[in-house]
């Protein structure tokens, strides 16, 4: 479930980032006899890095949502299952505790991605 939710946003952003490399830059490197691997790793990947991190910022919270929804339907344990049991038994303190834990996990995950983006893609504001 998580893979289905995160695969397509990541795929679309990564492909957009790889295709957004300026053509004159690629042609210049080809005229300098750069290999395809050198062009890919030294030009296309750094140019696609902002797109990759944008995809990760979308996919991170989506992965948590996908995991919780998957646990609602078929897991025997986990935070999603705890939420479902608390909901069906009208145990509101457990339900809200699970929601707050998930919110904190989502914010932490998103913050870690933003911090990594600031370190890796330092040339983009």
Alpha helices in the chain (DSSP H): 2-19, 23-31, 36-39, 45-74, 79-88, 92-120
Whole-structure pTM value? 0.82
Residue 15 is predicted with a pLDDT of 95
Q: What is the pLDDT of residues 72-102, one digit of tens each?
A: 888 888 888 899 999 999 999 999 999 999 9
The closest alpha carbon to 61, from 105, 1, 118, belongs to: 105
Residue 51 is predicted with a pLDDT of 96
Domain range list for the chain: 2-120
- pLDDT block averages, 10 residues each, the chain of length 125: 89 94 92 93 94 94 90 84 91 94 94 95 84
Q: What is the mean pLDDT of the chain?
A: 92
């Amino acid at each position: 479930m998580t893979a289905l939710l995160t695969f397509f946003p990541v795929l679309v952003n990564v492909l957009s980032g790889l295709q957004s490399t300026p053509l004159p830059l690629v042609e210049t490197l080809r005229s300098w006899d750069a290999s395809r691997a050198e062009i890919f790793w030294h030009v296309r990947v750094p140019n696609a890095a902002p797109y990759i991190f944008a995809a990760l910022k979308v996919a991170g919270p989506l992965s948590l949502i996908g995991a919780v929804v998957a646990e609602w339907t078929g897991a025997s344990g986990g935070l999603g299952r705890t939420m479902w049991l608390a909901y069906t038994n009208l145990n509101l303190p457990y339900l809200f505790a699970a929601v707050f834990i998930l919110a904190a996990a989502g914010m932490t995950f998103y913050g870690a991605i933003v911090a990594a983006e600031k370190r890796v893609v330092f040339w983009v504001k």
